[in-house]
Amino acid sequence: MVDYDTSLIGRVFHSPNVVTVTAKMIADYCAATYDTNPLYTNPEVAENGPYGGIVAPPGFAATFRDREHIFQQIPRFAGGGLAAGMDVEFGLPIRAGDSITIESQLKEIYEKTGRTGTMVFIVFRSTLKNQRREVVAHIDHRFMRRPQRARD
């Protein structure tokens, strides 16, 4: 049986951190992922593209996280958990100069039993917004943790 404070489900956590995206951050991400799409890497091509300038690749949205702040709010998950999956729903493109804020909502806590025993999963939905409060992405993060056993 899951022994976690289920009253936290639905609670929204606002990150105190704002991330200002730079052209260097986008270029470094593209270099790390070997993404050479000129819409992300070439200012001249991007200027004439559909977005009128360089934008970040969609996967860049997955680099934003605030789990340290969130886990502080859930004592049984203090110290985090094993990343167990991520789903991303993309909104508007992220651009250099955007100031991204994150608010995360605890969606669910559930238990599963596998070959190695009981596992507890926690799912957060993070909403990333730019400085105009426009959604650039929704990200569902799943984390797994083994329940703590009672000590003798």
Mind listing the pLDDT tens digit for each residue in 114-148?
888 888 888 889 999 999 999 999 999 888 887 76
Task: Please choose, from the candidates 107, 96, 101, 106, the residue with its C-alpha nearest in 3D space to the C-alpha of residue 134.
Answer: 101
Least confident residue range of 6-20, 23-37, 41-55, 99-113:
6-20
| CATH of segment(s) 6-21+61-145 | 3.10.129.10
Round to whole Å and give the CA distance between 105 and 13.
6
Residues 28-48: tens digit of each pLDDT: 999 999 999 999 999 999 999
**Tally of residues, the chain:** 152
| Pair 124, 140: CB distance under 8 Å | yes
Token duo for residue 142? 């799943």
Round to whole Å and give the CA distance between 59 and 102.
16
pTM: 0.81
Task: Please choose, from the candidates 90, 96, 91, the residue with its C-alpha nearest in 3D space to the C-alpha of residue 20.
Answer: 96
Confidence band, pLDDT 50/70/90 cuts, at residue 97: very high
Answer left, alpha or beta for residue 84, where phi above 0 means left and psi between -120 and 50 means alpha.
alpha
